[in-house]
Structure 1
Amino acid sequence: MSRAEQPSRRTLLAATVAAAVVGPSLSVGVAHADPARPVDYHAWTSYPDWRTGAARGTRAVAGTRPGVVIADPAGTTDYTDPHTGTTASWEYATWTSPVHTLRVPSTEAVASWNAHTPAGTWLQVELHGRYSDGTETPWYVMGRWAAGDQDIKRTSVDGQSDGKSSIWTDTFAVDDATTGLRLVSYRLRLTLYRKPGTRLTPTVWRLGAMGSDVPDRFTVPASTPGLAGELTVPRYSQEIHKGQYPEYDNGGEAWCSPTSSQMIIEYWGGRLTPAQLAWVNPGYADPQVDHAARFTYDYQYEGCGNWPFNAAYAATYDNLQGVVTRLGSLTDVETLIAAGIPAITSQSFLKEELTGAGYGTSGHLMTVIGFTADGDVIANDPASPSDEAVRRVYRRREFENIWLRTKRYNASGKVVSGSGGVCYLYFPARPSARQRKALAAVGVR
């Protein structure tokens, strides 16, 4: 399985394209999002968006994919990489978003971003918020990231807390949600770094965060099936990579997140060149899965399940975007599938809670690619013994509950957390009108 949702990693909520579609019924209209959805995903993506922020050494760039880049650096700073011990000097510039007032005062928030970081550059994302009691959070580091791993080791930052909230790898969480304390607004700050004396720059195309206040629950209401059909998505098993590159979280058995990411990336046409894969042992099947594990790996968490690192990895491929959000039901997934957009879902369960899985897990990612005529879930489950065995059909009611709940009992009978509907969505940089409508229906713009 994956370590993506180990209870020690985060508090989570318990604590806290038509051408690719098989089946004529996929021509159904897009469902409307529930106005009571307890999630607010907001992002800055357009040229006007980038011009509204506070810039110190950055500038907005227009074009088919607007973004923000280094113009004239604000200064130079030293950074000691905690994972190599190496200290180096970097020029830097910053962009700070306007304040976003959350439509849903939130117990949790997860930032995600899409960027190009050529060799010799990297970036940091921070979050600063205001609580419902009028006080403010510190500037929390939500990630230090580069597409490669030669300049810095991409990393989350442990040990961040102000006594009211904490950062758990990639997730901001109110320490005790039962007090009623909530995050009511936030700003995000980008710091872009480059080697001194160069004209290099990261380019950031999307920066956003998902705030949520999903109620504690062991069970969720069942949704009504509304779509049948299946997307043609590549199938990759994480299990055939057992023992490969143990420096990346002990090899393939823990690679559900990058394996799922790679399936969707290739569904959208993303491909790696032989030169990019040259570092992988030529005797290994599906070397692109090894590549995905290496380039999603979080050196602090010591795993490949950092949610925004996976979304950022997807966006390193030409013409792809990636976001981390929460969805409200399988009806939301049907809306996306109808527009040709598969979804990567995060769930945890006992073996007997998901018929046909054959295993239990404290955290696992799989890809939903369609629905049967009875409404059951068709998933590409990377925890399968071979690529051929990856396609599974899971009972709708079971799948929906293990994905959306925030509390569950583990094998010892202890109450632990569930993901509360966490989902990665990867989609084109220039989505079709139908895709834009489907994404907007689930709260992503």
Structure 2
Amino acid sequence: MSRAEQPSRRTVLAAAASVAAAAVAQGVVPAVPAAAATESDPDAEGTGRAGPSQVEYCCWTTYSDWRTGTAVGVEAVGGDRPGVVIGTAAGTTSYTDPHTGKTATWEYGTWTGPVHRLCVPATEAVVSWNADTPAGTWIKVELRGTYSDGTDTPWYVMGRWAAGDQDIRRTSVDGQGDGRSGISTDTFALTDPSTGLRLASYQLRLTLYRKPGTDLTPAVRRLGAMGSDIPDRFTVPASVPGPGRGRELKVPRYSQEIHKGQYPEYDNGGEAWCSPTSSQMTVEYWGGRLTAEQLAWVDPSYADPQVCHAARYTYDYQYAGCGNWPFNAAYAATYQGLQGLVTRLGSLTDLETLIAAGIPAMTSQSFLASELTGAGYGTSGHLMAVIGFTADGDVIANDPFSPDDDAVRRVYARREFENVWLRTKRYNASGKVTSGSGGVCYLYFPVAPTPAQTTALAAVGLR
């Protein structure tokens, strides 16, 4: 997510659990959710999956799903990949792009999803989406929640997004909050979970925009949210090797480091491109390819120009980086036949279940150099693609923070990897308590998965 040797600008989890961290340091009917993924119970033995459910992912993807929402100026469409599109627009509105200063008028329509009551009252939520946005169109994604005390949050903007960067600049929105919750780049988080307050339910809202007087339309194909309540923990229980042992997927290897200094307008160049590099490796594993025309803007002297392309088209102009989680998932879904989402997994067993079905995962982790043997660096936030497991159950990863493409494949000790990925608290190099991702990952998989892949996704709470 961030440049490996510098602090991440992401503040996810830090504000949401500041009080709890200090304490630890001292001592479809409408979008029926798949079974919530189980998390690790600190007292459990074996796989560490015996604890209560703490993560729930819910999504809208089918024609029936899209019919459950309230549509104003949009309509549901069926076919091979159902979604919502603009019909007869609800009206016009103006938008001033904060990153260009340009004001333009747009026709728009809205789709508001039904209220979804969380099976797991949450401290955090991440919304992700898949959409087609032809030139002249874009979308806005919002979330409104109801707290466990019955009061409501404001409508929070979770992203203003387009696949391209000519009509608007895709952006997260800073400065949103009501004193009890707020948005940190791409994550809804409660300000103080120690009070017992939780997000009990939520609604999602889409606004689709197009140039006035045209028949252009964006099409949103998947909309989902991951809610979670992961306890503060510096360590997680050790798992035992499972279904992914001895399986390694043939995922292309790309280094972010060979792009140092290239296109510094996108977060100072390749040294900060772990997220789009991991995304591009995984997209190409599934057969996604860019045309010469799409890559024509890249300096022809640069190796692996597709990594430069991924950086440009995942870049969040507010965050000023390429590590916005939903923007990466949305980028992957711009490739024909692919869909993407952001969630949390509960254990390495979950990861092995996916690997065994041929599905790699991009995981987010933070660690000191001494905590992950063989990495050779420390990071406050870094993405890599998990592509397999050795016969002994150790993790095989394509780690983009490598000097060249040949060096990208790494094997990391199972126990070390699961801890730096699944924990929510850690000590940084200064000895201060800071946050960990708690098992965050991006998953990209086919629009039409195989039966085995469908089963594996369902086993980890996804569809």
- On whether the aligned pair clears a TM of 0.5, the verdict is yes
Give the aligned partner of residue 123 of structure 1.
139
Q: Distance in 1 between matches of 2:387 and 2:92?
A: 47
Q: Distance in 1 between matches of 2:445 and 2:239?
A: 25
**Does 2:232 correspond to 1:230?**
no
**Does 2:92 correspond to 1:76?**
yes
Structure 2 counterpart of 1:220, which letter? V
Give the aligned partner of residue 2 of structure 2.
2
Which residue of 415, 429, 442 corresponds with 2:433? 415
Q: Distance in 1 between matches of 2:120 and 2:208?
A: 30
Q: Given that residues 179 and 191 in structure 2 are in contact (C-alpha distance below 8 angstroms), is that contact kept between their aligned partners in structure 1?
A: yes
Give the aligned partner of residue 340 of structure 2.
322
**Does 2:321 correspond to 1:303?**
yes
**Residue 65 of structure 1: how far off its partner (Å):** 0.4
Which aligned pairs between 1:251-330 and structure 2 lie closer than 5 A? 251-330=269-348
Which residue of 399, 404, 428 corresponds with 2:422? 404
Residues 8 and 339 from structure 1, CA distance in 2 versus in 1: closer, same or farther, beyond 3 angstroms?
closer
Give the aligned partner of residue 87 of structure 1.
103
Residues 3 and 142 from structure 1, CA distance in 2 versus in 1: closer, same or farther, beyond 3 angstroms?
farther
Q: Given that residues 170 and 307 in structure 1 are in contact (C-alpha distance below 8 angstroms), is that contact kept between their aligned partners in structure 2?
A: yes
**Does 2:361 correspond to 1:343?**
yes
Which residue of 233, 258, 268 corresponds with 1:250? 268
**Does 2:443 correspond to 1:425?**
yes
- Give the match's secondary structure for 2:64: helix
Give the aligned partner of residue 356 of structure 1.
374
**Does 2:102 correspond to 1:59?**
no
**Residue 33 of structure 1: how far off its partner (Å):** 7.7
Q: Distance in 2 between matches of 1:349 and 1:32?
A: 21
Residues 54 and 34 from structure 1, CA distance in 2 versus in 1: closer, same or farther, beyond 3 angstroms?
farther
Q: Given that residues 366 and 437 in structure 2 are in contact (C-alpha distance below 8 angstroms), is that contact kept between their aligned partners in structure 1?
A: yes
Structure 2 counterpart of 1:191, which letter? T
Give the aligned partner of residue 197 of structure 1.
213
1:82-115 Cα distance to aligned partner (Å, 9 max, x none):
0000000000000000011111000000000000
**Does 2:411 correspond to 1:393?**
yes
Structure 2 counterpart of 1:138, which letter? P
Q: Distance in 2 between matches of 1:14 and 1:296?
A: 28
Q: Given that residues 3 and 303 in structure 1 are in contact (C-alpha distance below 8 angstroms), is that contact kept between their aligned partners in structure 2?
A: no
**Residue 37 of structure 1: how far off its partner (Å):** 2.7
Residues 33 and 415 from structure 1, CA distance in 2 versus in 1: closer, same or farther, beyond 3 angstroms?
closer
Which residue of 113, 124, 133 corresponds with 2:149? 133
**Residue 32 of structure 1: how far off its partner (Å):** 13
Q: Distance in 2 between matches of 1:3 and 1:68?
A: 37
Which residue of 26, 37, 41 corresponds with 2:53? 37
Q: Given that residues 33 and 442 in structure 1 are in contact (C-alpha distance below 8 angstroms), is that contact kept between their aligned partners in structure 2?
A: no
Unaligned runs of 5+ in 1: 17-30
Which residue of 163, 179, 185 corresponds with 1:169? 185
Unaligned runs of 5+ in 2: 21-46
**Residue 36 of structure 1: how far off its partner (Å):** 2.4
1:3-39 Cα distance to aligned partner (Å, 9 max, x none):
59826532356548xxxxxxxxxxxxxx998682310
Q: Given that residues 33 and 332 in structure 1 are in contact (C-alpha distance below 8 angstroms), is that contact kept between their aligned partners in structure 2?
A: no
Q: Given that residues 14 and 407 in structure 1 are in contact (C-alpha distance below 8 angstroms), is that contact kept between their aligned partners in structure 2?
A: no
Structure 2 counterpart of 1:58, which letter? V
Give the aligned partner of residue 22 of structure 1.
none
RMSD after superposition: 1.5
**Residue 2 of structure 1: how far off its partner (Å):** 1.6
Structure 2 counterpart of 1:370, which letter? G
Structure 2 counterpart of 1:197, which letter? G
Output the TM-score relative to the length of structure 1: 0.95
Q: Given that residues 17 and 192 in structure 2 are in contact (C-alpha distance below 8 angstroms), is that contact kept between their aligned partners in structure 1?
A: no
Output the TM-score relative to the length of structure 2: 0.91
Q: Given that residues 298 and 306 in structure 1 are in contact (C-alpha distance below 8 angstroms), is that contact kept between their aligned partners in structure 2?
A: yes
Q: Given that residues 48 and 347 in structure 2 are in contact (C-alpha distance below 8 angstroms), is that contact kept between their aligned partners in structure 1?
A: no
Q: Given that residues 3 and 271 in structure 2 are in contact (C-alpha distance below 8 angstroms), is that contact kept between their aligned partners in structure 1?
A: no
Structure 1 counterpart of 2:364, which letter? S
